[in-house]
A = this chain, B = another copy of it.
Amino acid sequence: MDISVHFYQPPAPTGKVQIMTISQLSVPGFRAAAVEAAIKKPGRLDLGLIVADTPATAAGVFTTNKVKAAPVILCQRRLRRGQAQAILVNSGNANACTGDAGLAAADACSAHVAAQLGIAAGLVLPASTGVIGQPLPVDRLRAAIPALVDRLRPEGLSDVAAAIMTTDTFPKMAAVTQEIDGRPITVAGIAKGAGMIHPNLATMLVFLLTDAAITAPALKAALQQGLAASFNRITVDGDTSTNDCVLVLASAAAGLPPITDMTSPAGQAFAGLLKTVMADLATQIVRDGEGAAHLFKVLITGAATPQEALRAARTVALSPLVKTAVAGNDANWGRIMAALGRAGIRLDPRKVDISFGPHQVVQGGLGLGPAAEQAAQALMATGNFDLHINLNLGNGTDYYLTCDLTAEYVHINADYRS
């Protein structure tokens, strides 16, 4: 498979930040591999493994959906100690809505890979994406695990990125390296975005690796901090999945003293790197949203509170009428006004200003006419723009990154089996 790294918005190579290319995508202290386990159709990688040389500090965040897949339940249990040494991930089967049998299946596969690696089963974090409600084919996974372990190598991460793709049109990877306290620290990540395998969901899986040394509470804090600027600010269709998870493992292989305090210079620097990688992966996921032809940021300023800014941004970013208008390159500000009006926020329609990039189309709640809209539409046609809405009520600011709603999205999600 032809793999290329997609830094959708590569972090600017300023200061000591250095961007990796695909051939370098490795993180000291980790090896990875992927194989075909015949869960998906022949010819597709569908089972991946990431292993730390020694037990790594680990943290995770998981779907808020009350219907949680078996691997999510196991990961949540196993991360209580803040340590892990391996991630075993399959595509093609979500192992969700499978009851106790699903938990046993995930546990059996973890135990099998742990035995092969000579580590405790409780240090293996399982993850799955794909079909809901069908039994995990444990025999196929077990049969493939020896070859998987054999192939482990430092540069294997891109194979895992490929193995977790479903309807993703490109593998999602990002990595940065920056000196912290005089030593290069790497943070790399891979992600699987909103893709469909019958009958599944807008499933998101994200695995982050670093060679920094860090305590479990500090790692969890950095992860939570990064979320607010990445995976908690994106939407494709508003549905959340049974399998969503973001895992981070820190190997300490860089040989620095552990970060214990996120407010220290080293802690802040590390949190910044993690956030950069997370934000980049989040952008890649939206860019590759099912059927998406436009990526746009809904930026709210002037809201009465930051909370209301977020609520307004989310409502506009999720509105099917706004998203279909964007699909048609239509600067349809009436739909934006209407979405704001039902967002449950304080709003004075006569104060609202709306711009597409630099092109203002609404001032004080009134349209600025066809010429302004035409300029906006030319920008929209580039496929990437900021939709800036100033409510002119206060200082609340927030944003959401989203994509358009196209006929292709419907085709992907309606006709998958036909």
Contacts and interface: CB of A to CB of B under 8 A. Distances in A.
Interface of A: 64-68, 94, 96-99, 131-134, 198-202, 237-242, 319-321, 324-325, 327-328, 330, 332-335, 337-342, 347, 349-350, 362, 364-367, 404-407, 409-411, 413-418
B330 A200 contact: no
B202 A321 contact: yes
A240 B338 contact: yes
B200 A334 contact: yes
Given A239-B319, A334-B133, A341-B67, A413 B324 contact: yes
Given A97-B349, A410-B407, A415-B328, A65 B341 contact: yes
A89 B416 CA distance: 44
Nearest to A202: B321
Given A67-B349, A97-B365, A334 B201 contact: yes
Contacts of A198: 330, 332
A237 B98 CA distance: 31
Contacts of A350: 99
A201 B338 contact: yes
A114 to B, nearest CB: 28
Contact of A65 (B202, B242, B342): B342
Query: Shortest 10 CB-CB distances between A and B: which pairs?
Result: A132-B334, A328-B414, A67-B341, A324-B413, A65-B341, A199-B332, A407-B407, A327-B414, A133-B367, A66-B341
A334 B413 contact: no
Contact of A406 (B68, B237, B414): B414
A246 to B, nearest CB: 17
A343 to B, nearest CB: 8
Contact of A366 (B98, B334, B341, B417): B98
B341 A242 contact: yes
Contacts of A132: 334-335, 337-338
Contact of A325 (B330, B335, B349, B413): B413
20 contacts: A64-B342, A66-B347, A67-B347, A67-B349, A68-B341, A99-B365, A131-B334, A133-B362, A199-B325, A199-B330, A200-B334, A238-B320, A239-B319, A242-B338, A242-B341, A320-B409, A325-B414, A327-B410, A328-B413, A328-B418
A86 to B, nearest CB: 27
A320 B321 contact: no
B330 A414 contact: yes
Given A99-B350, A320-B237, A334-B133, A410 B413 contact: no
Contacts of A199: 325, 330, 332-335
B99 A67 contact: no
A330 B413 CA distance: 10
Contacts of A411: 407
Given A321-B237, A334-B133, A406 B410 contact: yes
B333 A239 contact: no
Contacts of A328: 413-418
A96 B365 contact: no
A342, A365, A414, most chain B CB atoms within 10 A: A414
Contact of A338 (B65, B99, B366): B65
Most chain B CB within a 10 A radius of its CB, from A202, A334, A339: A334
A169 to B, nearest CB: 18
Contact of A410 (B98, B134, B347, B405): B405
Contacts of A362: 97, 133
Given A132-B335, A328-B418, A330-B414, 14 more contacts: A67-B338, A67-B349, A67-B365, A68-B341, A97-B333, A98-B366, A198-B332, A199-B334, A201-B338, A237-B321, A239-B321, A407-B411, A407-B414, A410-B410
